[in-house]
Amino acid sequence: MGGAATLMETAMLTTQDLLKEKIRSRTAKVGIVGLGYVGLPRAMEFAKAGYSVTGIDVTSRVVEALNAGRSHIQDVPTGTLRPYVDCGTFRATMDSSVIAELDTVNIAVPTPLRKTKDPDMSHIMAAAEEVARYAHPGLLVILESTIYPGTTEEVLLPLLEKKGMKVGEDFFLCFSPERVDPSNAQCQTKNIPKVVGGITPACTEMGALFYSQALDNVVAVSSTSVAEMVKLLEDTFRMVNIGLVNEMAIMCDRMGFNVWEVIDTLATKPFGYIPFYPGPGLGAHGIPIDPFHLIPKPDNRLLTPEEEVDRLRNEMRSRGESVFDRDVLPEFALG
Ligand SMILES: NC(=O)c1ccc[n+]([C@@H]2O[C@H](COP(=O)([O-])OP(=O)(O)OC[C@H]3O[C@@H](n4cnc5c(N)ncnc54)[C@H](O)[C@@H]3O)[C@@H](O)[C@H]2O)c1
């Protein structure tokens, strides 16, 4: 009798309830597409948390080495990887049809720039098309590659909806930026707060539930676009400040004093300043690249000073605030 009731209850569970239950009970089958600096540490965190993890990569050398228990990523020592390979908790494959058997898929493929400095979306498109091909009800898809705001909703969602499944009910789609800091012993994949935003509130809830099984701190935001922009603001902030301090270093050198002394002294100020240090170029591989992801859409382009003045003037006019509609405005706005 009790068994029959349980069966009936199970039959009434929604796709959402069933996936949540699999995630909580660690029976969800986890997939990671792209096994590089971002994907492999992510795979290890979920393997450590007790999930069965399948990594999918297009590079045979990477797949073969990982299946032999050898890591190619500094932050994942071979000694950490091998036990999970040996006991079958982690395996790598080039066959994306395994997605049909998975419950979650994180996409962490490269997003380099083309010669023209616009983002090369070919890896994202290739990965997303494979995920969409084998997508099924009850699948959670999370994009982790750095991309321009709007990509998850405008590029991934239509592909995944092609099979007639409804987002937030049949499948769940999120964006979650990566904040890995290679070789930083204090800030590792597990303890760096993980931002996640979904297409619908149910998607966000699912993404946050998933990450919270393996990571210490999850920060849920209201949309995929907010999560996408968080990453770009973060990297643009670092790009601007590293560039600034490099210029300061050149100036100090020319004037004959030590920029490090200047920085360390300024760092005694307890507010309004974060120390950045001079170095070659703009730092880690994503920093000089990621701010260019702001550019692809006309809405994302920064306005020229003249355009900004026009925009302000039109806005003031539309509010009937004629006091601002004076010839002095351009000089004022241009500083
Ligand atoms: N490395 C970092 O420190 C860092 C930090 C934050 C964000 N990111 C972002 O994360 C994303 C991944 O970066 P990464 O450093 O891990 O790259 P990576 O080059 O180390 O690894 C990417 C892996 O994806 C594989 N791949 C490429 N196309 C594929 C496809 N269609 N299907 C399956 N696998 C595919 C490659 O073979 C490679 O093994 C990028 O968008 C990057 O900007 C990286």
pLDDT confidence of residue 334: 43
Tally of domains within the chain? 2
Query: Higher pLDDT residue, 105 or 186?
Result: 105
Q: Are 141 and 89 in the same domain?
A: yes
Q: At what angle do helices 39-48 and 78-86 cross, to 10 degrees?
A: 60
Q: Are 207 and 273 in the same domain?
A: no
- What integer is the mean pLDDT of 241-257? 96
Residues whose CB falls within 8 Å of the CB of residue 125, separated by 6 or more in sequence, listed in order: 155
In CATH, what number is assigned to the domain containing residue 148?
Answer: 3.40.50.720
Give the distance (Å) from ligand 1 centre to CA of residue 112: 9
Answer yes or no: is pLDDT of 317 > 80: yes
Q: Are 90 and 193 in the same domain?
A: yes
Q: Is the CB of 35 under 6 A from ligand 1?
A: yes
Domain boundary among 222, 250, 268: 222
Q: Which ligand 1 atom minimizes the distance to the CA of 110?
A: 40
The answer to whether the Cα torsion of 17, 20, 24, 28 is positive or negative is positive
Q: What is the pLDDT of residues 282-307, one digit of tens each?
A: 766 677 777 777 776 655 566 677 77
Give the distance (Å) from ligand 1 centre to CA of residue 57: 10
Least confident of 69-73, 87-91, 180-184, 261-265: 180-184
Residues whose CB falls within 8 Å of the CB of residue 133, separated by 6 or more in sequence, listed in order: 96, 99
> Of the candidates 155, 174, 162, 111, which has an alpha carbon nearest to the alpha carbon of residue 134?
162
Answer yes or no: is pLDDT of 313 > 90: no
Query: Higher pLDDT residue, 205 or 238?
Result: 205
In a domain, 2, yes or no: no
Q: Is the CB of 104 under 6 A from ligand 1?
A: no
DSSP 191-251: TS-EEEEESSHHHHHHHHHHHHTTSS-EEEES-HHHHHHHHHHHHHHHHHHHHHHHHHHHH
Q: Which ligand 1 atom minimizes the distance to the CA of 124?
A: 31
- Burial (Cβ within 10 Å: 0-12, 13-18, ≥19) of residue 34: buried
pLDDT averaged over the chain? 90
Give the distance (Å) from ligand 1 centre to CA of residue 37: 7
Domain of residue 69 covers: 10-222
Q: Are 236 and 164 in the same domain?
A: no
> Of the candidates 50, 46, 89, which has an alpha carbon nearest to the alpha carbon of residue 66?
89
Query: Which long-range contacts link 321-327 to residues 24+ away (Cβ below 8 Å)?
Result: none
Give the distance (Å) from ligand 1 centre to CA of residue 174: 17
User: Could you identify the residue written with the tokens 């091998």?
Assistant: 82
Q: For the chain, what percentages of helix, strand and coil (3-state, to nearest 5) are there?
A: 50, 10, 40
**pLDDT band for position 10 (50/70/90)?**
low
Give the distance (Å) from ligand 1 centre to CA of residue 40: 10
CA distances from 323 to 331, 332, 335 (A): 15, 13, 18
Answer yes or no: is pLDDT of 325 > 60: no
Q: Are 63 and 159 in the same domain?
A: yes
In a domain, 35, yes or no: yes
**Between β-strands 52-56 and 90-93, what pairing exists: parallel, antiparallel or unpaired?**
parallel
Q: Which ligand 1 atom minimizes the distance to the CA of 40?
A: 16
Least confident of 158-167, 224-233, 270-279, 313-322: 313-322
Query: Higher pLDDT residue, 83 or 310?
Result: 83
Q: Is the CB of 109 under 6 A from ligand 1?
A: yes
In a domain, 70, yes or no: yes
**pLDDT band for position 254 (50/70/90)?**
very high
- What integer is the mean pLDDT of 178-206? 91
Q: Are 216 and 236 in the same domain?
A: no
Give the integer Cα–Cα distance in Å for 34 and 211.
18
